[in-house]
């Protein structure tokens, strides 16, 4: 599913913002090129105080500034007595200062370097895609002091929450407004999907994800490969925990299931 989402997003996604608007921070590595001045060109690490050590100029502020602003600063200082009409280009060689975090049902959970322009789909792809037990919703937890705000359609039901809920099924169907642009410091959480268990006389017993709230016994059995030759579709029970106690009830194929149910298919009488 995620592969389809990535391909769809790439086809219709808007152009990314100007990378020169990226806000530089400590540990970022800048590539500064001064044309026809190789001794002034190279890679420079933004140190903890937010500055870089630049030839001729000494300490040049960088932290908290955009790439464009750093470029202008270097150009102006070089022009003030060092280089005649300097042509300066600054890019980010390595993004190290800003991160986002991906947790939950993804294959490679952890931190990702934020490049200043990243969407939800891109982050999930970089995290190795989702596991087979991932749910259909993703939650983006955003710091309350982050700039900007979510659109009303993206905000959770509880007012004041700093969580953005995204339904991946809606995104898959073409609602690309759900492909949320991320910000530095965001945490993406992919919850585990609700599941049921199928056991007894079925071809593939095991745990199966509930992809819809109205999933029936028949649908769960289909996921398990159907009833085996020795099983009976008329001898099915559901083991369900109610108020902390385990209950066993007879079931029909049309009976709706609840998360955590165990379906037991018994042998036929003859």
- Kindly report the backbone phi and psi dihedral angles of residue 248, in degrees, each rounded to the nearest multiple of 5, phi listed first: -120, 125
Per-residue pLDDT reduced to its tens digit, 230-256 = 999 999 999 999 998 999 999 999 999
Q: Among 45-49, 116-120, 141-145, name the one with the lowest average pLDDT.
A: 141-145
For residues 112 and 35, state if they share a domain: no
User: Do residues 199 and 264 lie in contact, with contact meaning Cβ atoms separated by under 8 Å?
Assistant: yes
Does the CA dihedral 148-151-155-157 come out positive or negative?
positive
pLDDT band for 146, please (50, 70, 90 cuts).
Answer: low
Instruction: Give the pLDDT confidence score for residue 159 in this predicted structure.
Output: 44
Q: Is residue 152 part of a domain?
A: yes
**CA angle 99-101-107, nearest 5°?**
130
- Residue 206's domain is classified under what CATH number? 3.10.560.10
Of 157, 190, 223, the position where a domain reaches its end is 190
Residue 165: HSE in the Cβ half-sphere, 13 Å Cα cutoff: 12
Per-residue pLDDT reduced to its tens digit, 5-51 = 544 444 444 445 678 888 999 999 999 999 999 999 999 999 999 99
* pTM given for the model: 0.69
- Distance from the first to the final alpha carbon of the chain: 43
Q: Is residue 12 part of a domain?
A: no
Instruction: Report the C-alpha gap between 227 and 253 in whole angstroms.
Output: 11
Q: How many domains does the chain have?
A: 3
């Amino acid at each position: 599913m995620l592969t389809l989402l990535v391909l769809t997003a790439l086809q219709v996604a808007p152009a990314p913002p100007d990378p020169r608007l990226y806000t530089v921070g400590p540990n970022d590595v800048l590539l500064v090129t001064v044309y026809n001045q190789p001794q002034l060109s190279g890679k420079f690490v933004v140190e903890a105080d937010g500055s870089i050590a630049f030839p001729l100029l000494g300490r040049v502020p960088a932290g908290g500034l955009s790439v464009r602003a750093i470029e202008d600063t270097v150009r102006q200082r070089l022009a003030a007595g060092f280089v005649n009409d300097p042509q300066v280009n600054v890019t980010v060689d390595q993004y190290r200062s800003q991160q986002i975090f991906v947790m939950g049902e993804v294959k490679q959970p952890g931190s990702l370097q934020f490049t200043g322009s990243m969407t939800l789909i891109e982050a999930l792809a970089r995290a190795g895609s989702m596991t087979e037990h991932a749910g259909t919703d993703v939650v983006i937890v955003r710091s309350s002091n982050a700039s900007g705000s979510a659109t009303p359609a993206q905000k959770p039901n509880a007012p004041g929450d700093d969580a953005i809920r995204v339904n991946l099924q809606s995104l898959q169907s073409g609602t690309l407004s759900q492909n949320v642009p991320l910000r530095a410091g965001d945490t993406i959480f992919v919850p585990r999907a609700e599941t049921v268990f199928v056991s007894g006389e079925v071809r593939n017993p095991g745990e199966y994800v509930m992809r819809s709230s109205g999933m029936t016994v028949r649908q769960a059995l289909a996921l398990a490969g159907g009833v085996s030759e020795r099983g009976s579709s008329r001898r099915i029970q559901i083991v369900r925990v109610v108020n902390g106690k385990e209950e066993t009830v007879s079931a029909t194929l049309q009976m709706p299931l609840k998360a955590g149910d165990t379906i037991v298919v018994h042998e036929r009488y003859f």
